[in-house]
Amino acid sequence: MSRPPGPREPTTLYLQIADSIAAPIRSGTLASGERIPSVRELSRRHGVSLGTVVQAYRVLEDSRLIEARPRSGYFVAPRPSGPPEPELSNPPASSLAVDVSSLAERVMQLAHDPKCISFGAACPSPELFSEDLVRRAVRRAAEHQGAALTRYAIGPGHDVLRRAIARHALGLGCQLDARDIVVTNSCLESITLCLRSVTQPGDVVALESPTLFSFLVILESLGLRALEIPTHPRTGMSLDALQLAFDTQPVKVVLTVPTLSNPIGACMPVAERQRLAQMVTQRRVPLIEDVLCNDLAQSDEHRNAVRAFDATGHVMLCGSFSKTVAPGLRLGWVEAGRWSSDVARLKQATSGAQAAVLEVALAALLTRPGVEAGRRRLRTALAARLDEAREIIARHFPTSTRVTNPASGLFLWVELPREVDALALFHACLEEHIVIAPGTMFSATDHFRHCIRLGLGGEWDEPHRQALRRVGELAGRLERRRARRPPEFEARTCATACPGACVDAAG
């Protein structure tokens, strides 16, 4: 049984008020220079104390979203225009075999090298979470589940965690039966199990372009082909392009991240989510939905999953709490709709069950009082970090750089001038112990060779700000060096790198 609602907590209240103002500012509904309600007016409107509103306004001031003007009140702070966003991606219309694992493995190893300043991974830094809270939950679980430490766990997961996940899914707009939920080692394991349950080697998987490199690594390991669908940096996968793919390609399954997609941070509009659910139902094509970052979305509508509109069980829901609650516990979950029993059998045959102690600890963290306040603090911290990084990019990267503008999340997608080779930039940064993720990691094509992903969930201090400025300076140096090369040098370089290709193109 869920905990009855208690008295409203001040911590939750001031963050709720701050979010109610931050969201329309970031979306542009409230424009720079526009006056916002006074402390006294907002106190009356929400029925809270003046101190609670003052706390909310301090959060907004710290995030540089509002500013106080003497004797005039509070106003929306000037928002830096920043670089423009990238345009809709344009991948090839046919599916491709995948080969990105070697580069992805190297970047991930370097991203966790303590000698490097890393923008390569999308892992939240420890200071964004309460280590003491997690430690206490694990200790209490070990005390109450001590016998579980000396015997194998079996089954799809501890009942207390499966019920907690089902309650959490209500916030995604989904009513799940806890008995159909399978606990896994990670969200990626959940996705792998779903793919294995509905595909055979050689099958075609439709997914965003660019897409998370881990998805491509999974497809490569399973012998599946990637059909990349044009994707907009703000609204996500083009459903018109997906419809065309259904009409012209043997799409076996769709793999998508509708909320804060990785690497571009897109959020699919609610109407499109509903349309997507209808499309896969009509085509009888399974859809694997990754909801890993839904809790980081600023608006409730973007936290609602596509699964919320699925009445036939064609949407397979995969999630984890490694970005929002406790990265170190490394537990995921899956509710696979009409394929639930198949996924449960595959999970048992592949890796069995997880440690019951960790499952009970995670359940306690998910159901503790104040969990939503923690998510709000995390969203606020990440949103402010993204805004600051975009300002640095606007000042220090080449002038024609484009960058995404997600409302929250863990990363920015940067489209550099085409003269800048992201792999060359990767190596130049590495010489200075800075790690970035080249765009070629995020596609089976070569379309994003001038793009990089910047992971901003890790540490964020002055050395990291300076390192980001340095990435921009190195990109500018590569752009100028390429611009100075004579045309005949480019022709020789091209012919050396891909003999015959230019001749074929000319012919």
Give the whole-angstrom CA distance, residue 412 versus residue 119.
Answer: 10
316 vs 111: which has the higher pLDDT = 316
The whole-number pLDDT of residue 489 equals 47
Domains of the chain with bracketed CATH: 10-76 (1.10.10.10), 124-367 (3.40.640.10), 373-495 (3.90.1150.10)
| Cβ proximity of 17 and 46 under 8 Å | yes
Strands (E), 145-285: 182-184, 204-209, 225-232, 236-237, 251-256
Lowest mean pLDDT among 1-5, 38-42, 206-210, 281-285: 1-5
Tokens in use for 492?
A: 């020789």
Residue 404 has pLDDT above 80, yes or no: yes
Q: What sign has the CA pseudo-torsion 10, 16, 19, 20?
A: negative
CB atoms within 10 A of CB 247: 9
Residue type, 378: L
Using the predicted structure, report yes or no on whether residue 327 has a pLDDT greater than 50.
Answer: yes
- Taking 50 as the threshold, does the pLDDT of residue 242 lie above it? yes
| 82 has a pLDDT exceeding 60 | yes
Which DSSP category does 467 fall into? H
What local confidence, expressed as pLDDT, does residue 486 receive?
A: 61
Structure confidence at residue 485 as a pLDDT band (50, 70, 90) = low
Count of other CB atoms within 10 angstroms of residue 179: 12
Top pLDDT among 487 and 25 is at 25
DSSP for residue 415: E
Identify the pLDDT of residue 495.
Answer: 41
Confidence band, pLDDT 50/70/90 cuts, at residue 12? low
- pLDDT, residue 8, reads 39
Residue 148 pLDDT class (50, 70, 90 cuts): confident
Place of tokens 């280590």: 131
Task: Say how far apart CA 172 and CA 308 lie, in whole Å.
Answer: 7
104-116 pLDDT tens trace:
888 988 988 889 9
Q: Which token pair is 290?
A: 């990754």
Mean pLDDT on 407-418: 93
Please give the model's pTM, rounded to 2 decimal places.
0.83
Write the pLDDT tens digit of every residue in 439-470.
Answer: 999 999 989 999 999 999 988 999 999 999 99
DSSP character at residue 297: -
Amino acid identity of 481?
Answer: R
Q: Among the residues of 124-182, which ranges form H helices? A: 131-144, 159-170
**Among the listed ranges 11-15, 175-179, 205-209, 444-448, which one has the minimum average pLDDT value?**
11-15
Average pLDDT for 50-66:
84
Beta-carbon contacts of residue 304 (< 8 Å; ≥ 6 apart): 172, 173, 270, 273
Which of 121-130, 179-188, 483-492 bottoms out in mean pLDDT, i.e. has the lowest?
483-492
The CA R_g of the chain, rounded to the nearest whole Å, is: 24
Greatest mean pLDDT among 5-9, 34-38, 247-251 lies in: 247-251
**H or E segment and range at residue 451:** strand 451-455
What band does 1 get if pLDDT is binned at 50, 70 and 90?
Answer: very low
Mean pLDDT (the chain) is 88
The pLDDT value recorded for residue 80 is 64
What is residue 330's DSSP assignment? Answer: -
Cα angle for residues 424, 429, 432 (degrees, 5° grid): 140
